[in-house]
Amino acid sequence: MNDVEPSLDDLTIFLAVCKAGGFRAAAKQLGLSASHVSETLTRMEAQLGVPLLSRTTRSVMPTAAGQALADRIAPLLSATRAALLEVTSAQAEVRGLLKLNIGTALMDMLAPLINEFLDAYPAVRVELVINDRLVDIIAAGCDAGIRYGKNLSPGMIAVPIGPRFQHLALAASPEYLARRGAPAHPDELLQHACIRMRFSSGALSPWTFERDGEVLTVDAPSRLTVGVQAAEAAVVYACAGHGLVCTLDHWLAPHLQTGKLIPVLEDWWHQIDGPWMYFPNRLMPAPLRAFVDLIASKRQSGGDGLPLLR
């Protein structure tokens, strides 16, 4: 290996190429020329004495050595950026970018909290990445992820950001129930029109029920299928009498209160873990620290969890 080692800027360019899968795409993201990006990677390979990228006419992919290097340095560079940002922010107003990767079903619940955070920290920019999959938040360039359940990767810590428990609730409009009748058991859902939701992975959101220790998952027939990103639309279709809908109870609550929907099989509603925010167990950038502190203050003043507001 050469005596001259790649700089932090060079390593940042290398990671961008690995993530983007090409020099031009990485250059566009970084605001650099494609030739500069290509020359940087060629120089790095010469300095290290090992090929980092496999180049074809259609794509650029990391070699085994390149992938191993990317896996090692990605969290280190993230921690370095966080440390530098924390140092520069320590004596000044909290500023910078807070980038959160949020599950689709949580957007409405988090809106009041995001509003309060924006009001409290006017110098902070917020970017919300909406995704119904559990992703590698470091690889995605996010500061933290927010999902239902405490599903954590190694090296992550988590804080509860809502009620500790919620329910998968089932409901239908009064008109539908008058026309088709109400099921007395989850198995009877096989004879009903149902409104199902589909994840971006292609899988249907499961309809799971429980009572007295018995847990059932029913593959209910779908009269209408919508993406989970359109969960609110699925509820609207249920209010219009097109079938039964099964989703998180906070989506249904306003319509249950007005009578547009009627709870169905309420003693079978399945309890799930509430939402958690997770992030690397390292130095936090100032905007993320401020957001975590806001969550802590809300929990202290609000008891077990944040209210589910629409």
* Interval 280-306: pLDDT, tens: 866 678 899 999 989 888 877 664 444
Interval 34-53 mean pLDDT: 92
**Are residue 30 and residue 102 in the same domain, yes or no?**
no
**Are residue 280 and residue 144 in the same domain, yes or no?**
yes
Q: For residue 184, what is the domain's CATH number?
A: 3.40.190.290
* Residue 134 domain-assigned (yes or no): yes
**Are residue 237 and residue 279 in the same domain, yes or no?**
no
Please give the residue that has the higher pLDDT: either 45 or 109.
45
**Are residue 22 and residue 148 in the same domain, yes or no?**
no
Domain span at residue 189 reads 165-271
**Are residue 150 and residue 278 in the same domain, yes or no?**
yes
Interval 196-216 mean pLDDT: 91
* Residue 174 domain-assigned (yes or no): yes
DSSP secondary structure code for residue 205 in this structure = P
* Per-residue pLDDT at 153: 63
Number of domains into which the chain is organized: 3
* Residue 143 domain-assigned (yes or no): yes
**Are residue 174 and residue 220 in the same domain, yes or no?**
yes
Q: Is the pLDDT of residue 208 over 50?
A: yes
**Are residue 172 and residue 256 in the same domain, yes or no?**
yes
* Residue 2 domain-assigned (yes or no): no
pTM over 0.75: no
* Residue 259 domain-assigned (yes or no): yes
Top-ranked range on mean pLDDT: pick from 19-23, 84-88, 128-132, 238-242: 238-242
**Are residue 54 and residue 64 in the same domain, yes or no?**
yes
* Per-residue pLDDT at 88: 59
Top-ranked range on mean pLDDT: pick from 21-30, 103-112, 203-212: 203-212
Q: For residue 50, what is the domain's CATH number?
A: 1.10.10.10
The residue among 21, 25, 27 whose CA lies nearest residue 40 is: 27
User: Residue 310 — very low, low, confident or very high, per pLDDT cuts 50/70/90?
Assistant: very low
Return d(Cα 262, Cα 85) in angstroms, integer: 51
Give Cβ neighbours of residue 214 (< 8 Å, ≥ 6 apart). none
Return d(Cα 124, Cα 122) in angstroms, integer: 6
CA-based angle 180:270:135, to the nearest 5?
Answer: 115
Interval 106-127 mean pLDDT: 89
Kindly state the percentage of the chain with pLDDT values over 90: 49
H or E element that contains 144: strand 144-148
User: Residue 255 — very low, low, confident or very high, per pLDDT cuts 50/70/90?
Assistant: very high
* Interval 143-158: pLDDT, tens: 988 888 766 566 678 8
Please give the residue that has the higher pLDDT: either 140 or 225.
225
Q: For residue 289, what is the domain's CATH number?
A: 3.40.190.10
Cβ-based neighbour number of residue 264 at 10 Å: 22
